[in-house]
Amino acid sequence: MITAFFRSTLLVGALLLAQASPGAAQEARGQVTNLPLPRFVSLKASEGNVRRGPSLSHRIDWVYKRRDLPLRITAEHGHWRRVEDRDGMGGWVHYSLLSGTRTVLVEQDML
């Protein structure tokens, strides 16, 4: 009798959870490109400014100086993409500086 009670309670709880968050099973998509977020890309240019916000008027925090640097896009705003590098540092980069090609960094010899 007790196991039947717990079994029905778990079933009702699972149904309520599924109804409460119908989009949880779906992947987040970018508002501009409708591509999955987050997604991996690489730096197309040999240099790319990383800004605090999605426009040229925002301050440059730093400059990526490695072509084919792997980055992860976490947000989109117009022609700007919020990216993160492998250390979790990031900012806004113009989409023309990015390539859809995925790349990797090899940090040790003889892996």
Q: What percent of the chain has pLDDT over 70?
A: 76
Q: Is residue 80 part of a domain?
A: yes
User: Nearest-CA neighbor of 73 among 58, 83, 65?
Assistant: 83
User: Nearest-CA neighbor of 33 among 97, 95, 102?
Assistant: 95
Q: Is residue 19 part of a domain?
A: no
Which pLDDT band holds residue 13 (cuts at 50, 70, 90)? very low
CB atoms within 10 A of CB 80: 20
Number of domains in the chain: 1
Q: For position 58, which CATH number holds?
A: 2.30.30.40
CA distance 101 to 91: 20
Instruction: Kindly report whether the global pTM for this prediction surpasses the value 0.75.
Output: no
Q: Is residue 18 part of a domain?
A: no
Instruction: Tell me: pLDDT of 106 over 60.
Output: yes
